[in-house]
Amino acid sequence: MDMHGAKSVYARNVTELYAFDGYAAKAGNTMQRHVILGCVMLLHAFNVYGIDQKPVTISRVRRVVEDFADVSAGRVAAHLSFLQKINYIAVTRSATDRRERMLRPTDAMLAHEQEWTATMLEPAAPLGLFDFSEAERDDLAFSLAFRIALAERPDEMRSMMYSHPEMLAMTCRDGAMSALLTLFMSREQTGSDRVAFDLMETAKRFGVSRSQLWSVLEEAAAMGLLVSQAPGWRQVQLTDKLHAAFDAWFFEHMRVMAAAAHRARLIRRELPRLQMPFMAMKRALHDAA
């Protein structure tokens, strides 16, 4: 088991997924945002696989979100509106009830879903938990099966999130996890727990304000995860408490992800398949244009 290698892959993948892409970052870079986005994808996956043919609606998304996280109905509605604004979901009125709005993930959101799946599963290989194949990376049907598999164990998902209070706090703050992973990558390069940090560049990279990132660092310091070693957070000390908290959370996170991935393989084989993997569909449409 290569814990160091797995953490390196995870840090690189997550920071690349959200760097310089404000839409992707605001769509799912906190726990609450990702749960909402994930529930839209889950209900869409149920439709695709024929598990449930009911339309994906705002009210259904709200109910499903309650199974996984403590997110208010108002926050769910606001984030769905944001996803529509950035063209991650398309919204139409029901033909039978004009008050009901139906949601459909766009190609942009489906492509993000595949990237997110790869981001979560590639680090499992160094841990010996799951070997994510190139075929699965290009297969939208596998990503949808992965959503279904994750949803099969809601108690496990909630435990993973809520049993690690320091990491829960970081995953709930805009830009926090990206900043921590940036610090981890700097540590890997230098071999020292005392690393240089550019607050302005990091804030710009992950689409958050300087004041927001400063607040995140101060919160991490209050929990004993970081220590500022120079004015303006130009030098940061990573503490033993941070390493212990992150490692405990990360291993449980990867264990849950890998177990779901193994179930997703079974779902992918046993349930009806999409006619074409998403990337192959995009290539075909491009060639025909």
Strands 226-228 and 235-238: antiparallel
Tens-place pLDDT, residues 120-166: 999 999 999 999 999 999 999 999 999 999 999 888 888 888 899 99
Cβ 69 vs Cβ 158: under 8 Å: yes
Please determine, for residue 22, whether its predicted confidence score (pLDDT) is greater than 80: no
Please determine, for residue 95, whether its predicted confidence score (pLDDT) is greater than 80: no
For 150, phi then psi, to 5°, come to: -60, -40
Question: Is residue 274, in this structure, part of any structural domain at all?
Answer: no
- 15 pLDDT band, cuts 50/70/90, is very high
The number of folded domains in the chain is: 1
pTM for this prediction: 0.86
Question: Is residue 278, in this structure, part of any structural domain at all?
Answer: no
What sign has the CA pseudo-torsion 37, 38, 43, 47? positive
pLDDT at residue 284 in the model: 46
Distance in angstroms (rounded) separating the CA atoms of residues 69 and 66: 6
Average pLDDT in the 78-101 region? 84
What are the strands, taking DSSP E only, across 108-248?
194-196, 226-228, 235-238
What sign has the CA pseudo-torsion 187, 21, 208, 25? negative
Residue 57 DSSP label: B
∠ Cα 84 46 262 (to 5°): 110
Domain that holds residue 77: 3-126+134-266
Question: Is residue 190, in this structure, part of any structural domain at all?
Answer: yes
Question: Is residue 200, in this structure, part of any structural domain at all?
Answer: yes
At 53, list the tokens.
């043919």
Please determine, for residue 286, whether its predicted confidence score (pLDDT) is greater than 70: no
Average pLDDT in the 51-55 region? 84
Which range is least confidently modeled, 108-117, 157-166, 181-190, 219-228? 157-166
Closest CA to 238 of 182, 200, 199: 182
Average pLDDT in the 214-227 region? 96
* Tokens 């074409």 sit on residue: 276
What percent of the chain has pLDDT above 90? 67
Q: Residue 227 class from Cβ within 10 Å (0-12 exposed, 13-18 middle, 19+ buried)? A: middle
Distance in angstroms (rounded) separating the CA atoms of residues 8 and 3: 9
Question: Is residue 286, in this structure, part of any structural domain at all?
Answer: no
Check residues 28 and 265 and name the one with the higher pLDDT. Answer: 265
CB atoms < 10 A from the CB of 122, how many?
Answer: 18
* Tokens 């998403």 sit on residue: 278
Q: Is 132 helix (H, G, I), strand (E, B) or coil?
A: coil
Question: Is residue 49, in this structure, part of any structural domain at all?
Answer: yes
Cβ 196 vs Cβ 183: under 8 Å: no
Question: Is residue 170, in this structure, part of any structural domain at all?
Answer: yes
Question: Is residue 281, in this structure, part of any structural domain at all?
Answer: no
At 228, list the tokens.
């500022």
pLDDT at residue 25 in the model: 79
